[in-house]
């Protein structure tokens, strides 16, 4: 029997009429929930997506007007076949490719991964991962990193960077891709998105905010296909992230709104379903929320193979199909395309109006002209084409201009910056008996399979046993050109003090040995244990422990060494059961710091850099303490049975632990320094008068109603370095909403942070501007952001649970 999918594959969909397509249940946002068996839980208040049609047209508003006019001129010269090409990826030198139209002087578009490096390239840098960048809580670092990455993408000929990531946000501690993004806190991630995007785009490269939206787990992110030959039938559809309206706005959408506000050129829609229909054809999410409510002027590209229909997706708001073909991840061009020729067909037979296709291209070309990508843009480095396993040369259908210089070295002096960023991202979680910084130790012992050199190659490092880990796996990884391991950096630094350095890198040996039998001639001054934790795309984490018997390794070392210092290189949350061990004197969470890893950690261990990283998530006592675990299995076989109900609503990470008074090991925002800091004198001044609950109804600009982005209060606090070492700290502002706010509002939410560097004894006043959005909740009835009446409590501190100063404000009287 021909399924809808096989009809689509054969191109028949494009020749059906709109009404037929709708009847068939393949049109628009309801594509799949329409054919779901009647199940009241699915048709309840959420888990169902209303249709929002038609797809809003771009106007280039918000500063892109001139570029928009150029794009209009460009589109007016295209033939219908060229239009189809402009919205459909094809095999070529990059991970995603839009073909050139030489007669119009258009050289095509090159899309490259990813969020920590230009992945398909040689002689490029591997920067710190998102989780590390977030751990700096430093807006300058976030921008600088984004800018440097952008420069490398451009120099390699990539017009579009598939970066940064705000989905997953980090709903579940176990999600395999959390490290690519920043933090489960939407405010922190929002700032990180905005800074990164501005950095990428200031370098002349288009940023891509991904994966929009609800991509909070890897398990069943794509459908299970019946793979008997070609991809035809679906056995089970991808999981549906079922998110209610308020949670959507206040949590998952929040950082994506920052992305639109930062004029992000493109959005990548997610693989999974959202409230019943695929994210890449969900008209509520794409047309309604993104293009209408947030005023997004750029284009939506599909995740690779995330397109599940032609007409339905186009009408639902998808503007570019990537990589364009069908088959697993869309990479089998001979299997056809949901777009491509079907777009031409659909326009010719009246199924799709050509004005919609024109809008898709206007959305694609406006940021291109805005960033001046039509002027002297570097050609794609031929070496990228050779390294591209996604669409190897044998699959290319079109000619590609690959005449530029091969293997360009685009790294510049970024290594120095990466070293600094890695050190700044390192979080000191425990430091007792002045274990750190190291003071010219006579002897050091280094333990753990994460300490030494990489032994399995520099690309997509893999979950292998020996070698330090600086990035996770999948499309978000990098291709290292060199890697400074902790052991190499320690050896180099130890020479300065004539320190004796011994090493044991075999975790099995360490975990099962009497350590005193191993070292010579006496107990070392410091035992440094390096542990790692892998995570990768397409798989969720199984546990929150460090890998490779890491806990046992620490126990074994700490049994005999009373100065055991643990360093973790990890994708994110580890529960650290050894944290209270009296011989474990220090713990550092270094996450995935990039190519200078060893130098970064040595800078902190020896005190050349005073640690100032703060946790971008909560470390609980047990893995089972976390809310919202991923859905790892379903015990029924129905096509639509994979569902993930976001019933915890706003209560993820610290919002959950705070709402239920649950003790945690290390709270969100926590991190020690070699110095001590104090806060005093918090004040709040209104910046606007006559504030009312509802925002003024202003014309929508990128980011939504501009009134939401207006500063309404300025909070200031004095921060002083009371210790005797220079260093940076991060005052953090948390907002407690008034009692009149609807139930379910988290007790405290981050709404401001600033990294301040202070010399010993110095103090400074820091300001946090609170925008209207920061003091509003999403009212599901009026569909507005409202400032609730009554008193807000603003707490400023050094973590979410170390709040030092409180000020109260009442923007709107009760
Ligand atoms: C990932 C995207 C990535 C794309 C291209 C997909 O599998 O989800 O993040 O950009 O592949 O490599």
771 alpha carbon to ligand 1 midpoint, in Å?
Answer: 34
Is the CB–ligand 1 distance for residue 218 below 6 Å? no
Q: Ligand 1, atom 4: nearest CA belongs to which residue? A: 304
Q: What average pLDDT score do residues 456-461 get?
A: 79
pLDDT tens digits for range 223-239: 998 766 555 578 999 99
pLDDT for position 326: 83
CB 119 within 8 A of CB 166: no
Which one-letter DSSP state was computed for residue 706?
G
pLDDT for position 359: 98
Is the CB–ligand 1 distance for residue 366 below 6 Å? no
Is the CB–ligand 1 distance for residue 220 below 6 Å? no
Is the CB–ligand 1 distance for residue 304 below 6 Å? yes
Dist CA 299 CA 361 (whole Å): 8
Return the structure tokens found at 55: 């797809």
- Helix 139-155 with 414-425: angle, nearest 10 deg: 150
CB 329 within 8 A of CB 304: yes
Q: Does domain 675-809 have CATH number 3.40.630.10?
A: no
pLDDT band for 523, please (50, 70, 90 cuts): confident
pLDDT band for 31, please (50, 70, 90 cuts): very low
Q: Ligand 1, atom 3: nearest CA belongs to which residue? A: 475
475 alpha carbon to ligand 1 midpoint, in Å?
Answer: 5
Q: Ligand 1, atom 8: nearest CA belongs to which residue? A: 303
Which ligand 1 atom sits nearest the alpha carbon of residue 211? 9
Pocket test for ligand 1, best of 212, 475, 535, 539 (most atoms within 8 A of CB): 475
Pocket test for ligand 1, best of 162, 214, 323, 390 (most atoms within 8 A of CB): 162
Q: What average pLDDT score do residues 151-156 get?
A: 98
Q: Percentage of the chain surpassing pLDDT 70?
A: 93
Is the CB–ligand 1 distance for residue 180 below 6 Å? no
User: Which of 300, 303, 305 is CA-nearest to residue 316?
Assistant: 300
Kindly tell me if the per-residue pLDDT of 14 is higher than 60: no
**Is 497 considered catalytic here?**
no
177 alpha carbon to ligand 1 midpoint, in Å?
Answer: 11
**Dihedral (C-alpha) 690, 694, 699, 703: value to the nearest 10 degrees?**
110
Which one-letter DSSP state was computed for residue 285?
I
272 alpha carbon to ligand 1 midpoint, in Å?
Answer: 13
Looking at 3.30.1240.10, 3.20.20.300, 3.40.710.10, 3.30.70.920, the CATH number of the domain 61-95+142-394 comes to 3.20.20.300
Dist CA 717 CA 796 (whole Å): 8
Q: Ligand 1, atom 12: nearest CA belongs to which residue? A: 475
Q: Ligand 1, atom 11: nearest CA belongs to which residue? A: 304
Structural domain spans, the chain: 1-41, 61-95+142-394, 426-609, 675-809
pLDDT for position 231: 52
The average confidence (pLDDT) of the chain is 92
Pocket test for ligand 1, best of 113, 121, 212 (most atoms within 8 A of CB): 113
Phi, psi of 119 (to 5 degrees): -75, -45
Q: What average pLDDT score do residues 777-786 get?
A: 97
538 alpha carbon to ligand 1 midpoint, in Å?
Answer: 10
Alpha helices by DSSP H, 106-261:
130-136, 139-155, 186-202, 245-247, 254-261
Is the CB–ligand 1 distance for residue 536 below 6 Å? no
Kindly tell me if the per-residue pLDDT of 702 is higher than 60: yes
pLDDT for position 232: 57
Q: Output the CATH code of domain 426-609.
A: 3.40.50.1700
What b/e string do you get for 1-27 counting C-beta neighbours within 10 Å, with b at 16 or more?
eeebbebbbebebbebebeebbebbbb
pLDDT for position 11: 33
CB 202 within 8 A of CB 193: no
pLDDT for position 390: 84
389 alpha carbon to ligand 1 midpoint, in Å?
Answer: 13
Which ligand 1 atom sits nearest the alpha carbon of residue 165? 9
pLDDT for position 46: 64
pTM summary value: 0.94
pLDDT for position 227: 66
pLDDT for position 228: 62
Which ligand 1 atom sits nearest the alpha carbon of residue 390? 12
Return the structure tokens found at 202: 């200031």
pLDDT band for 494, please (50, 70, 90 cuts): very high
Q: Ligand 1, atom 6: nearest CA belongs to which residue? A: 304
Kindly give, in sequence order, each residue whose CB lies less than 8 Å from that of residue 689, ignoring residues fewer than 6 positions away. none
345 alpha carbon to ligand 1 midpoint, in Å?
Answer: 28
Is the CB–ligand 1 distance for residue 94 below 6 Å? no
pLDDT band for 653, please (50, 70, 90 cuts): very high
pLDDT band for 16, please (50, 70, 90 cuts): very low
Q: Which of 30, 85, 113, 303 is catalytic?
A: 303
Lowest mean per-residue pLDDT among 515-529, 628-642, 748-762: 515-529
pLDDT tens digits for range 723-772: 999 999 999 999 999 999 999 999 999 999 999 999 999 999 999 999 99
**Would you list the DSSP string of 506-561?**
-HHHHHTS-GGGTSSSS--SEEEEEEEE--BTT---S-SS-STTHHHHHHHHHHH-
Q: Percentage of the chain surpassing pLDDT 90?
A: 87
Lowest mean per-residue pLDDT among 161-165, 389-393, 646-650, 776-780: 389-393
303 alpha carbon to ligand 1 midpoint, in Å?
Answer: 6
């Amino acid at each position: 029997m021909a399924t809808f999918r096989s009809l689509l594959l054969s191109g028949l969909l494009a020749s059906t009429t709109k009404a037929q397509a709708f009847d068939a249940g393949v049109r628009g946002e309801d594509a799949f929930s329409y054919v779901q068996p009647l199940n009241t839980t699915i048709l309840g208040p959420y888990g169902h997506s209303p249709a929002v049609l038609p797809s809003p047209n771009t106007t280039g508003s918000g500063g892109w007007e001139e570029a928009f006019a150029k794009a209009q001129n460009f589109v007016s010269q295209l033939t219908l076949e060229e239009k189809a090409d402009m919205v459909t990826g094809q095999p070529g030198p990059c991970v995603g490719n839009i073909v050139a139209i030489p007669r119009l002087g258009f050289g095509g578009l090159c899309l490259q991964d990813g969020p920590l490096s230009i992945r398909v390239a040689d002689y490029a840098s591997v920067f710190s991962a998102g989780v590390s960048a977030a751990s700096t809580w430093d807006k300058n670092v976030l921008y600088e990193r984004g800018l440097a990455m952008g420069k490398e993408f451009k120099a390699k000929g990539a017009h579009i960077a598939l970066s940064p990531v705000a989905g997953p946000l980090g709903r579940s501690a176990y999600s395999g891709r959390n490290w690519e993004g920043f933090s489960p806190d939407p405010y922190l991630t929002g700032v990180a998105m905005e800074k990164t995007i501005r950095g990428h785009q200031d370098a002349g490269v288009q940023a891509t905010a991904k994966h929009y939206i609800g991509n909070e787990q890897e398990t069943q992110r794509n459908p299970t296909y019946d793979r008997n030959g070609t991809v035809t039938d679906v056995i089970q559809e991808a999981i549906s992230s079922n998110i209610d309206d308020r949670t959507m706005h206040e949590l998952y959408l929040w950082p994506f709104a920052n992305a639109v506000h930062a004029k992000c050129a493109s959005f990548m829609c997610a693989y999974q379903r959202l409230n019943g229909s695929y994210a890449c054809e969900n008209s509520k999410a794409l047309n309604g929320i993104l293009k209408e409510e947030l005023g997004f002027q750029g284009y939506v590209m599909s995740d690779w193979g995330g397109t599940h229909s032609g007409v339905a997706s186009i009408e639902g708001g998808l503007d570019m199909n990537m990589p364009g073909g069908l088959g697993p991840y869309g990479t089998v061009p001979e299997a056809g395309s949901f777009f491509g020729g079907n777009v031409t067909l659909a326009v010719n037979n009246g199924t799709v109006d050509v004005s919609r296709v024109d809008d898709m291209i206007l959305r694609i070309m406006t940021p291109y002209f805005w960033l001046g990508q039509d002027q002297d843009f570097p050609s794609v480095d031929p070496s990228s084409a050779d390294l591209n396993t996604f669409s190897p040369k044998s699959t290319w259908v079109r000619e590609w201009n690959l005449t530029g210089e091969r293997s360009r070295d685009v790294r510049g002096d970024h290594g120095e910056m990466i070293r600094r960023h890695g050190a700044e991202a390192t979080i000191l979680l425990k430091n007792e008996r002045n274990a750190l910084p190291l003071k010219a130790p006579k002897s050091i012992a280094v333990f753990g399979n994460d300490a030494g050199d990489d032994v399995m190659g520099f690309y997509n490092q893999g979950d292998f046993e020996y070698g330090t880990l600086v990035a996770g796996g999948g499309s978000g990884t990098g291709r290292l050109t060199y890697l400074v391991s902790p052991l190499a950096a320690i050896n180099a630094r130890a020479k300065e003090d004539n320190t004796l350095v011994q090493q044991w890198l075999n975790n099995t040996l360490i975990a099962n040995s009497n350590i005193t039998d191993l070292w010579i001639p006496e107990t070392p001054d410091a035992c440094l244990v390096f542990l790692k934790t892998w995570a990768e795309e397409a798989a969720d984490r199984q546990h929150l422990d460090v890998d490779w018997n890491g806990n046992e390794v620490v126990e074994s070392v700490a049994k005999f060494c009373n100065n055991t210092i643990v360093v973790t290189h990890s994708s994110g949350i580890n529960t650290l059961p050894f944290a209270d061990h009296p011989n474990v004197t220090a713990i550092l969470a270094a996450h995935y710091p990039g190519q200078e890893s060893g130098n970064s950690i040595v800078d902190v261990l020896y005190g050349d850099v005073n640690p100032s990283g703060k946790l971008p998530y909560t470390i609980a006592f047990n893995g089972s303490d976390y809310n919202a675990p991923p859905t790892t299995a379903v015990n029924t076989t129905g096509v639509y049975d994979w569902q993930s109900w976001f019933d915890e609503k706003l209560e993820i990470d610290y919002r959950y632990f705070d709402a239920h008074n649950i003790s945690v090991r290390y709270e969100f925002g926590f991190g020690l320094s070699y110095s001590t800091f104090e806060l005093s004198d918090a004040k709040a001044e209104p910046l606007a008068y006559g504030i009312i609950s509802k925002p003024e109804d202003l014309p929508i600009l990128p980011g939504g109603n501009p009134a939401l982005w207006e500063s309404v209060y300025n909070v200031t606090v004095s921060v002083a370095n009371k210790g005797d070492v220079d260093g940076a700290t991060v005052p953090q502002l948390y907002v407690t909403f008034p009692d009149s706010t609807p139930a379910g509002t988290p007790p405290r939410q981050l709404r401001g942070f600033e990294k301040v560097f202070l010399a010993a004894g110095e103090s400074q006043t820091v300001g946090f501007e609170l925008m209207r959005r920061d003091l509003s909740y999403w009212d599901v009835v009026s569909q507005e952001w409202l400032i609730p009446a009554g008193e807000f409590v603003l707490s400023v501190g050094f973590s979410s649970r170390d709040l030092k100063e409180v000020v109260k404000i009442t923007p709107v009287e009760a």
